[in-house]
């Protein structure tokens, strides 16, 4: 026991390389300081455990924005309910597990197994609304029935092994209580509450004040992590936020060029959103089509082949609305139930696109599935998720852990752990990876007075196209080390000079300095392969 009462000492020099290692060191020191207080110690332990778990990405947005459908598309299985049952009003965690299992949790930690029902579609095909979680007959482990606080779904999935996905109830002006559950998860208020998500995918169908307010709430919580910690408030929101223009196929009223229209709309959104500095990227995605493509059945492919043989005018007239397309009196060589099924699974745009692709020469279901996925925007979203979140997972998790630790320290003053707080704040303010992420979010918003090619180079250097050295330098992956070193050195010199330019305003000078430090980080890596991804602490 004497060992546990050792004075709290923390030496950054012994913590190993990278912000993850240093965060672990700080958490271990905090744990020793809080040995007499089991409740606080458990909170610190929870922060430490999270560093070893998959990154937590929350899907958020307004009611019916398409969050659960996008989750199903990302996982490639229909696990998230998309019909309007009670369970869509609860925060639901989707984690990798050995066997499918759904558990309801009450606020006090009591738990109950949840019965899962699977809907059926036409002719034995999968239903359009995924699973349903039946909350009507829960048997709680702790006796008395309790109110469900959140659900946890364990499901075998390679995708979930990498990332835990949190599906949130839609933000809505009609239900303050349900919206509060989402706010609470992503941008907790004061007190010792721990933020729950490391990164957010925010779905929008159009930009209105509810979205802006919510994104601002998340943004101020995240940027408050460094500065706000000083006054004890606003500590802890996720650092990574990606915007998705969802249900993109519906924009442009289901025309064949719907995704192009959606891209235009998304580009406008992107401009508006990026000016607010709240999202790092905005991408149009047709989640319904992406999910249907990921789970395309041979039977469905054959149905599209049949439709491809129908005269264009007849088919266009039938596809004016989903109700019309399923009418039994239409002269189409497919059963009405199968037509209704296709409309529910693929949407009208998806049907038009699939038929057009077959007419253009697609000959098998695998090719059709790949092409539909590409055109749904899901591949692009995956690439951005990889660059912004997966490659930055260690930094995003460390940021969550540090903001949580700052919160714990502020809420429980008067122990030796107080001497850890300055170091936690310094890390939050100075870890170069965090600075890069903040700059990526603000780059367009700040409208730096630099030529477009320089802005593109700056964006790339700070990791906007991926964190690998060659990506930051804009070189091919085969480029030899000597060339990469020379390029990195040139970048250091160029961006240092830019930062010192007498006419540069403060914002521009800081951005140029950040780029120069990113390039210096590359030089270090290129001389000595690092043990962890690039996460240097700058003086
Ligand atoms: N056409 C089209 N419909 C979609 C798309 N994504 C979702 N939908 C439909 O929109 C409705 C709502 O989708 P959900 O995925 O349940 O949306 P949500 O945001 O999870 O809804 P809540 O959890 O109730 O707020 C469902 O009927 C979906 O089939 C899409 O990309 N295209
Ligand atoms: Mg939902």
Residue among 233, 153, 164, 230 at smallest CA distance from 198: 164
The response to whether residue 127 sits with its C-beta less than 6 Å from ligand 1 reads: no
Residue 437: pLDDT over 90 = no
SS3 441: helix
- In terms of phi and psi (left: phi > 0; alpha: psi -120 to 50; beta: otherwise), the region of 136 is alpha
Nearby residues of 47 by Cβ (< 8 Å), 6 or more positions away: 27, 194, 401, 404, 405, 408
The model's confidence at residue 436, banded by pLDDT at 50, 70 and 90, is confident
d(CA 517, CA 539): 10
The model's confidence at residue 117, banded by pLDDT at 50, 70 and 90, is confident
Q: Of the ranges 62-66, 110-114, 279-283, 533-537, which one carries the lowest mean pLDDT score?
A: 533-537
Residues 237/198, Cβ–Cβ less than 8 Å? no
Residue 6: pLDDT over 70 = no
The response to whether residue 238 sits with its C-beta less than 6 Å from ligand 1 reads: no
* Gap from CA of 82 to ligand 2 centroid (Å): 5
* 489-496: average pLDDT: 96
Q: Of the ranges 138-142, 258-262, 328-332, which one carries the lowest mean pLDDT score?
A: 258-262
Question: Atom 22, ligand 1: which residue's CA is nearest?
Answer: 64
The model's confidence at residue 86, banded by pLDDT at 50, 70 and 90, is confident
Q: Which of 70, 171, 247, 349 to mutate to test the pocket of ligand 1 (most atoms within 8 A of CB)?
A: 247
Cα–Cα distance list, 334 to 57, 122, 314 (Å): 41, 12, 13
Nearest ligand, CA of residue 381? 1
Nearest ligand, CA of residue 202? 1
Helices within 225-311 (DSSP H only)? 258-276, 287-294, 298-308
Bridge partners, 91 (sequence order): 150
Check residues 175 and 235 and name the one with the higher pLDDT.
175
Residues 410/190, Cβ–Cβ less than 8 Å? no
* 201-212: average pLDDT: 84
The model's confidence at residue 27, banded by pLDDT at 50, 70 and 90, is very high
* Gap from CA of 89 to ligand 2 centroid (Å): 7
Q: What confidence score (pLDDT) does residue 279 get? A: 76
Instruction: State residue 92 phi and psi, 5-degree precision.
Output: -130, 130
d(CA 493, CA 486): 11
Q: What confidence score (pLDDT) does residue 175 get? A: 62
Tokens of 48: 């430490």
Question: Atom 24, ligand 1: which residue's CA is nearest?
Answer: 64
Q: Which of 61, 62, 64, 92 to mutate to test the pocket of ligand 1 (most atoms within 8 A of CB)?
A: 64
The model's confidence at residue 75, banded by pLDDT at 50, 70 and 90, is very high
Q: Of the ranges 151-160, 212-221, 377-386, which one carries the lowest mean pLDDT score?
A: 212-221
Q: What confidence score (pLDDT) does residue 277 get? A: 64
pLDDT exceeding 70 applies to what percent of the chain?
79
Name the burial class of residue 351, with classes exposed (0-12), middle (13-18) and buried (19+) by CB atoms within 10 angstroms of its CB.
Answer: buried
**What pTM did the predictor assign?**
0.84
Residues 440/463, Cβ–Cβ less than 8 Å? yes
* 416-420: average pLDDT: 93
* Gap from CA of 310 to ligand 1 centroid (Å): 29
Question: Atom 2, ligand 1: which residue's CA is nearest?
Answer: 247
The model's confidence at residue 65, banded by pLDDT at 50, 70 and 90, is very high
Instruction: State residue 251 phi and psi, 5-degree precision.
Output: -75, 135
Residue among 341, 394, 380, 378 at smallest CA distance from 534: 394
Residue among 48, 13, 14 at smallest CA distance from 30: 48
The response to whether residue 266 sits with its C-beta less than 6 Å from ligand 1 reads: no
The response to whether residue 347 sits with its C-beta less than 6 Å from ligand 1 reads: yes
Cα–Cα distance list, 50 to 3, 43, 46, 195 (Å): 25, 11, 6, 11
* Gap from CA of 63 to ligand 1 centroid (Å): 9
Instruction: State residue 7 phi and psi, 5-degree precision.
Output: -60, 150
Note the pLDDT tens digit of each residue in 217-251. Answer: 777 666 554 333 333 333 456 778 888 989 988 87
Q: What confidence score (pLDDT) does residue 531 get? A: 47
Residue 147: pLDDT over 90 = no
Q: What confidence score (pLDDT) does residue 507 get? A: 87
* Gap from CA of 65 to ligand 1 centroid (Å): 6
* Gap from CA of 299 to ligand 1 centroid (Å): 24
Ligand 1 atom having least distance to the Cα of 83: 16
The response to whether residue 170 sits with its C-beta less than 6 Å from ligand 1 reads: yes
Element (H, E) at 355: helix 336-359
The response to whether residue 270 sits with its C-beta less than 6 Å from ligand 1 reads: no
Q: What confidence score (pLDDT) does residue 424 get? A: 92
Q: Of the ranges 80-84, 470-474, 480-484, which one carries the lowest mean pLDDT score?
A: 80-84
Q: Give me the sheet containing 101-106, strands edge to edge.
A: 111-113, 101-106, 148-155, 91-96, 163-167, 55-61, 199-204, 240-245, 281-284
Question: Atom 12, ligand 1: which residue's CA is nearest?
Answer: 64
* Gap from CA of 205 to ligand 2 centroid (Å): 14
Q: What confidence score (pLDDT) does residue 13 get? A: 35
Tokens of 256: 């064949």
* Gap from CA of 530 to ligand 2 centroid (Å): 41
The response to whether residue 236 sits with its C-beta less than 6 Å from ligand 1 reads: no
The model's confidence at residue 28, banded by pLDDT at 50, 70 and 90, is very high
* Gap from CA of 327 to ligand 2 centroid (Å): 29
Rounded mean pLDDT of the chain?
82
The response to whether residue 65 sits with its C-beta less than 6 Å from ligand 1 reads: yes
Residue 205: pLDDT over 90 = no
Check residues 15 and 486 and name the one with the higher pLDDT.
486
Cα–Cα distance list, 356 to 68, 305, 365, 377, 525 (Å): 28, 10, 14, 18, 49
Q: What confidence score (pLDDT) does residue 308 get? A: 96
Task: Give, in degrees to the nearest 5, the angle at Cα 385 between 344 and 59.
Answer: 55
* 279-300: average pLDDT: 90
Nearby residues of 342 by Cβ (< 8 Å), 6 or more positions away: 300, 303, 304, 325, 334, 351
Q: What confidence score (pLDDT) does residue 138 get? A: 84
Q: What confidence score (pLDDT) does residue 267 get? A: 67
Ligand 1 atom having least distance to the Cα of 82: 16
* 116-129: average pLDDT: 65
Tokens of 27: 């958490």
* 100-126: average pLDDT: 80
Place of tokens 């990332």: 163
Cα–Cα distance list, 281 to 202, 240, 514 (Å): 10, 10, 20
Ligand 1 atom having least distance to the Cα of 89: 23
């Amino acid at each position: 026991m004497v060992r546990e009462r050792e004075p709290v000492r923390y030496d950054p020099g012994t913590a190993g390389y990278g912000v993850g290692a240093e965060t672990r060191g700080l958490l271990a020191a905090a744990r020793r300081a809080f040995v007499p207080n089991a409740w606080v110690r458990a909170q610190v332990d929870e922060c430490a455990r999270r560093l070893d778990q998959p990154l937590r990405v929350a899907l958020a947005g307004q009611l019916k924005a398409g969050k659960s459908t996008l989750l199903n598309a990302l996982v490639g299985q229909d696990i998230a309910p998309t019909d309007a049952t009670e369970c869509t009003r609860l925060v639901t965690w989707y984690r990798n597990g050995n066997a499918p299992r759904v558990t309801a949790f009450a606020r006090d930690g009591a738990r109950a197994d949840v019965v899962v029902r699977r809907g059926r579609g036409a002719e034995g095909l999968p239903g359009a609304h995924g699973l349903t979680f039946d909350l009507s007959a829960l048997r709680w482990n702790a006796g008395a029935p309790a109110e469900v606080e959140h659900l946890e779904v364990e499901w075998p999935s390679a995708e979930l092994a990498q990332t835990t996905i949190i599906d949130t109830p839609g933000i809505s002006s009609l239900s303050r209580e349900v919206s509060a559950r989402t706010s609470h998860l992503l941008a907790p208020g004061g007190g010792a509450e721990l933020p729950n998500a490391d990164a957010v995918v925010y779905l929008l169908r159009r930009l209105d004040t509810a979205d802006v307010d919510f994104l601002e709430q998340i943004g101020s919580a995240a940027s408050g992590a460094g500065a706000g910690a000083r006054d004890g408030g606003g500590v802890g929101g996720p650092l990574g936020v990606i915007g998705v223009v969802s249900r993109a196929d519906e924009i442009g009223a289901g025309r064949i060029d719907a995704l192009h229209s959606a891209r235009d709309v998304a580009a406008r959104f992107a401009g508006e959103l990026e000016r607010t500095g709240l999202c790092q990227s905005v991408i149009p995605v047709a989640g319904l089509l992406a999910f249907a493509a990921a789970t395309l059945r041979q039977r469905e492919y054959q149905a599209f082949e049949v439709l491809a043989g129908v005269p264009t005018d007849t088919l266009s007239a039938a596809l004016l609305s989903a109700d019309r397309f399923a009418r039994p009196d239409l002269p189409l060589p497919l059963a009405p139930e199968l037509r209704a099924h296709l409309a529910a699974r693929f949407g009208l745009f998806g049907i038009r696109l699939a038929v057009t692709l077959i007419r253009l020469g697609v000959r098998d279901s695998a090719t059709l599935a790949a092409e539909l996925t590409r055109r749904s925007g899901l591949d692009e979203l995956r690439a951005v998720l990889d660059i912004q979140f997966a490659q930055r997972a260690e930094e995003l998790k460390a940021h969550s852990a540090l903001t949580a630790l700052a919160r714990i320290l502020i809420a429980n003053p008067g122990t030796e752990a107080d001497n850890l707080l300055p170091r936690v704040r310094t890390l939050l303010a100075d870890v170069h990876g965090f600075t890069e992420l903040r700059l990526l979010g603000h780059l367009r918003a700040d409208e730096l007075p630099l030529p477009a090619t320089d802005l593109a180079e700056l964006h790339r250097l700070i990791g906007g196209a991926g964190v690998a050295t060659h990506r930051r330098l804009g070189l091919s992956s085969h480029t030899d080390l000597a060339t990469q070193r020379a390029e990195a050195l040139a970048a250091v010199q160029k961006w240092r000079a830019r930062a010192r330019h007498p006419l540069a305003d403060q914002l521009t000078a800081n951005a140029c300095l950040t780029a120069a430090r990113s390039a210096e980080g590359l030089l270090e890596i290129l001389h000595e392969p690092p043990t962890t991804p690039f996460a240097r602490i700058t003086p």
